[in-house]
A and B are shown apart, each in its own frame.
Chain A
Amino acid sequence: MFARRRFAVLKDLLEYVGIEPGRLHFSWISSAEAAKFQETVLAVTEAVKALGPAKHMIKDIRKVA
């Protein structure tokens, strides 16, 4: 519940600075919902696969060293 407020803001912030919305997923799955878990894993994997590798936050050691 507190996390929901926190991550509502964080997700907006990360989208605002240009991290693709598809990289960050939130879901609510109860421990009895194995099928929903499977669906969500598939959806998340597909979304991230479509975006390709993330580069923004990776430090380029060659540049700073």
Chain B
Amino acid sequence: MSTTQEIAAQIREAAKRLLSEGKVDCVIGFAQGTVPMREYPYFAYTPEEAENLTWSRFCCNNLSNFLVRRPKGQADKVAIVAQGCVSRNIVGLIKENQITREQVYILGVASPGMVDRNKVQALFPLKTITEVTEDGDELIVKGLGFEERVPTKKVLRQNCYTCVMRNPVIKDEMIGEESAPTHGGNIDKVAAPWEKLAPEERWAAFQETFKDCIRCYACRDACPLCYCHVCFVDEARPQWCGKTQDEADVATFHILRAFHCAGRCTDCGACESACPVGIKMRKLTSMIEKDIRELYGYTPGMDLESQPPLSVYKPNDPQEFIK
């Protein structure tokens, strides 16, 4: 299994080759952040810029988000670095006619499992982390006056433990070798955590989870599924959702946001990574995806052929809830 540093070097090589051959106009990847554990999405337009590309366990954004939001008239053929979830989102975007398969050149990478920077910080409360490097399966965390090794298994993002597809489902070129498809976690065991609660307790649990929401919409903006030009929260007439932090407004926003991801969410975890106050919105989305799996036996983004579950129907769909 190649290390992320080796894969980063191979990504740079491939990006330089594609850009200098003129095969693509732009390579979307990650660049080293100025703050530790903050790799940021990077657009390389020239072979020189491709030098800045990198790959690590801190690449938490979902890059397929940038395939649909590119300004018109810019590069129309792009290469993108895609691990399992990103490639599944690309499949989703192709199915929803947002992009065409020919438009993208996919540099497939097996996902090492991304690290949740909040978890790393939580291990060193009130300390400043100045540098984090990877060494195989361990992180070397350096800070003011300390240096420690942390096994990455301890600090992975929650969704990465239960990933069902680490390898890209579609690709034009594979970088590094494929890995085992899962991390060994079972999504059905952890999905929908409030289902065990009594119905009366659920609203309180829901409010407790989302009480810190500041309505910055970072989860929406980080999500590759949310590409509507006018989001329902921005509509003013009628106003579906108020703009305050009142629990009714927060609940409306999060219920509808989760519902809009029904049958499309690949559990990439970009929303949770983007949240500035650390809300675990996967508690909502995981429930919907579980429901879709149970009702319609569908896992989003696994192939290009199957139809999105809410765009088709069968005469014998479950309907006990209809009187």
Q: Would A and B touch once assembled, by the CB under 8 A criterion? A: yes
Residues from chain A with Cβ under 8 Å of B195 in the complex: 16
Q: Is B258 among interface residues, defined by CB-CB distance under 8 A?
A: yes
CB distance from A21 to the nearest CB of B (A): 8
* Contact of A18 with B202 in the complex, beta carbons under 8 Å: yes
Contact: B248 with A59, CB < 8 Å? yes
Q: 15 pairs across A/B with beta carbons < 8 Å?
A: A2-B310, A2-B313, A7-B321, A8-B295, A12-B291, A13-B259, A16-B202, A16-B287, A17-B202, A18-B203, A26-B321, A28-B323, A40-B323, A57-B248, A64-B246
Partner of B251, one of A5, A6, A56: A56
Q: In the assembly, what is the distance between CA of A42 and CA of B251, in Å?
A: 30
Of A4, A8, A16, which one neighbours B192 at CB under 8 angstroms?
A16
Closest Cβ neighbor of B192 among chain A residues: A16
8 tightest Cβ-Cβ pairs between the two chains A and B: A18-B203, A18-B202, A27-B323, A1-B313, A59-B248, A64-B244, A17-B206, A64-B246
With both chains docked as a complex, state the minimum distance between the C-beta of A34 and any C-beta of chain B, in angstroms.
Answer: 15
Main secondary structure of the interface of B (DSSP, over half): helix
Q: In the complex, A16→B202 CA distance in Å?
A: 7
A17 — which chain B residues lie within 8 A by C-beta?
194, 202-203, 206, 251, 255, 284
A59 pairs with B317, CB closer than 8 A = no
Which residues of chain B are within 8 angstroms of A63 by Cβ–Cβ distance?
Answer: 246
Within 8 Å CB of A20, what residues of B? Answer: 199
- The secondary-structure label for the interface of chain A is helix
**Is B5 located at the chain interface by the 8 A CB criterion?**
no
How many chain B residues touch A (CB < 8 A): the figure is 42
A residues contacting B by CB (< 8 A) are 1-2, 4-21, 25-28, 40, 43, 56-60, 63-64
Q: Which residues of A contact B258 (CB under 8 A)?
A: 13
Q: Which of A6, A18, A27 has the most CB of B within 10 A?
A: A18
Chain A residues with Cβ below 8 Å from B231 are none
Shortest C-beta distance, B319 to chain A (Å), equals: 6
Task: Give the residue among B202, B203, B323 with the most A Cβ atoms within 10 A.
Answer: B323
List chain A residues, Cβ under 8 A from B202.
15-18
| Nearest B residue (CB) for A3 | B313
B177 CB to nearest A CB, Å:
38
Q: Please name all residues of chain A whose beta carbon is closer than 8 Å to the beta carbon of B313 when the two chains form the complex.
A: 1-2, 4-5
B74 contacts across to A, CB distance below 8 A: none
Q: Quick check: B248 and A26 within 8 Å, CB to CB? A: no
- Once the chains are docked, how many angstroms separate the CA of A43 from the CA of B125? 56
Nearest A residue to B263, CB-CB: A9
The answer to whether A18 touches B206 (Cβ under 8 A) is yes
Residues of A within 8 A of B284 (CB): 13, 16-17
